């Protein structure tokens, strides 16, 4: 669970983000919150990011639990093919994370990506996804 510092100023936010962490600093981390995309755009973006996987890949159909995605903000910014990342990029303050973080293993990526666990405040998911689609175009 996440409780944003500037929640009063934000038009909407997700209390239960599903984030691919791109970078970590002492007091914050930058990541892609897939909940800001509808299911179709989530799948498309994740498929593009899958090329950045690293770890044991002995059998292409079986994901090792230690497999991870290594991608950076700079890399995403360079190419228009990754433009769906734009509405998902968020900075999270560690001190505002209110529950323990859960690490999702590679074998559960596909399932976790489609779980309807988003928890938007001040706006419906449908409206958030519509706004995100506009930012992608």
Q: What is the DSSP letter of 2?
A: B
| Measured distance CA(85)–CA(47) in Å, rounded | 12
Examine the pLDDT at 58 and tell me if it is beyond 60.
no
Place of tokens 């990342």: 85
What value does the mean pLDDT take over residues 99-119? 93
What pLDDT is stored for residue 81 in this prediction? Answer: 93
Structural contact between residues 133 and 127, judged by C-beta atoms closer than 8 angstroms: no
pTM here is: 0.89
Confidence of residue 59 (pLDDT cuts 50, 70, 90): low
Q: What is the mean pLDDT of residues 44-73?
A: 74
Average pLDDT over the chain reads 91
Query: What are the boundaries of each domain within the chain?
Result: 13-136
The pLDDT assigned to 72 comes to 92
Among 60-69, 92-101, 109-118, 122-131, name the one with the lowest average pLDDT.
60-69
Q: Are 30 and 23 in contact (CB under 8 A)?
A: yes
């Amino acid at each position: 669970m996440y409780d944003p510092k500037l929640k009063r100023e934000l038009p909407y936010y997700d209390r239960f983000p599903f984030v691919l962490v791109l970078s970590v600093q002492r007091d914050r981390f930058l990541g892609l919150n897939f909940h800001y995309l509808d299911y179709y755009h989530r799948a498309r973006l994740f498929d593009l990011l899958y090329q950045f996987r690293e770890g044991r890949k002995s059998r292409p159909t079986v994901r090792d639990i230690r497999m991870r995605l290594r991608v950076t903000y700079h890399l995403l910014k360079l190419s228009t093919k990754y433009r769906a990342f734009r509405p998902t990029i968020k900075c999270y303050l560690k001190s505002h994370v209110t529950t323990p973080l859960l690490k999702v293993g590679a074998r559960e990526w596909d399932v976790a990506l489609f779980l309807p666990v988003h928890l938007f405040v001040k706006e419906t998911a449908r409206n958030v996804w519509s706004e995100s689609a506009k930012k992608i175009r």
